[in-house]
Amino acid sequence: MSEPVSSMVDLRRHLEAHLRSLRSAGIEWAPRGDKLAAKARPVPAVQPATAPTHVASIDAEPEETDSRRQELGVLAAEVAKCVRCPSLASTRTQTVFADGNPHAELLFIGEAPGADEDAQGKPFVGEAGQLLNRILAACGLTREDVYICNVLKCRPPGNRTPLPDEADNCKGYLERQIELVKPKFIVCLGSSAATQLLGPIKPLGQMRGRFHDYKGIPVMVTYHPAYLLPHRSPDKKRDVWEDMKSLMAKLGRPIPEKGAASAE
């Protein structure tokens, strides 16, 4: 029996938003229905009843042979349908999965998407994101050299701090991202990320400046770029720069001569 026209229009709109969300997350392909159906957890509340499990290949590119990207694509597809936090799922424009290179040695974790990120489907694209870009540039890095994600994949209304149950709901996605990317180092940007990875922490100022451990991966804790903006605590930029220098030294990467100046 053929679908009513309105259902088909809704289905197309949902699928287009879903594919845009995947593309924003850096996922340039999506698995065929059999793989997705086998691996994705069914969460029917957000998908229209008529939605198939098949997700067409974006831009009809040849099947990707990079299994890490494939696994991340499956995970991003699962996240895009997630409604474990009903209030966040009902207010988000889209989920914000990640940005950057799935093969990066450095993985950055922030707190949650803000308004700009929610609109664009990418983490760290607002004012704080611009500052993060400058910090990376000061280290001789671009966003394509690192992997960037958040504790929460959905925007908390009003940019409030994630609630403990929301962070718990989303924890498995972050853990899986780390497992798949296999970074050499993790940088927790702010206390939400540090608490999610390391458990209850001391004040952030006492956690920064040294390496912690997450499942054998060294973790640097430093201030979130939003905390460094002019109306908050720009004087802490110096501390972040010291943390990044320690990290680059551990990675064996030379810092560009004008790095400190460009981080300001």
Query: Residue 100: in which H helix or E strand, if any?
Result: strand 99-100
Query: Does 98 sit near ligand SF4 (CB under 6 A)?
Result: no
- Minimum CB–partner distance for residue 117 and ligand SF4 (Å): 13
Tell me if 82 contacts ligand SF4 by CB under 6 A: yes
Which range touches ligand SF4 (CB under 6 A), out of 5-13, 76-84, 120-128, 208-216? 76-84
Q: Binding residue for ligand SF4 (CB under 6 A) from 14, 84, 134, 245?
A: 84
Q: Which is nearer to ligand SF4, 94 or 222 (CB)?
A: 94
Tokens of 135: 């910090």
Its sign, for the CA torsion 132, 133, 137, 143, is positive
Tell me the DSSP string of 195-244.
HHHHSS-S-HHHHTTSEEEETTEEEEEE--GGGGSTTS-GGGHHHHHHHH
8 A C-beta contact, residue 135 and residue 259: no
Which of 70, 94, 169, 195 binds ligand SF4 (CB under 6 A)? It is: 169
Closest approach of Cβ 22 to ligand SF4, in Å? 14
Do residues 217 and 180 lie in contact, with contact meaning Cβ atoms separated by under 8 Å?
no
Instruction: Kindly state the smallest distance separating residue 224's Cβ from ligand SF4, in Å.
Output: 18
The residue (of 92 and 208) whose beta carbon lies closer to ligand SF4 is 92
**Cα–Cα separations (whole angstroms), residue 38 to 42, 48, 72:** 10, 19, 14
C-alpha span between 43 and 52 (Å, rounded): 12
* CB count in 10 Å sphere of residue 140: 14
Q: Closest approach of Cβ 164 to ligand SF4, in Å? A: 12
Nearest distance in Å: CB 123, ligand SF4 = 13
How big is the CA angle at 80 (ends 16 and 41), to the nearest 5 degrees? Answer: 120
Binding of residue 95 to ligand SF4 (CB under 6 A) = yes
Lay out the site mask for ligand SF4 across 35-74 (x = CB under 6 A, - = otherwise). ----------------------------------------
Does residue 137 contact residue 238 with C-beta atoms inside 8 Å? no
Judged by CB under 6 A, the residue of 71, 117, 118, 166 near ligand SF4 is 166
- Indicate if the alpha-carbon torsion angle 264, 226, 137, 184 is positive or negative: positive
Using rule CB under 6 A, residue 109 touches ligand SF4:
no
> Least CB distance from residue 98 to ligand SF4, whole Å?
12
Spatial separation of the C-alpha atoms in residues 85 and 167, rounded to whole Å = 10
Footprint (CB under 6 A) of ligand SF4, residues 124-163:
152-154
Q: Could you say which of 88, 109, 128, 131 contacts ligand SF4 (CB under 6 A)?
A: 88
Binding stretches for ligand SF4 (CB under 6 A): 79, 82-85, 88-89, 95, 152-154, 166, 169-170
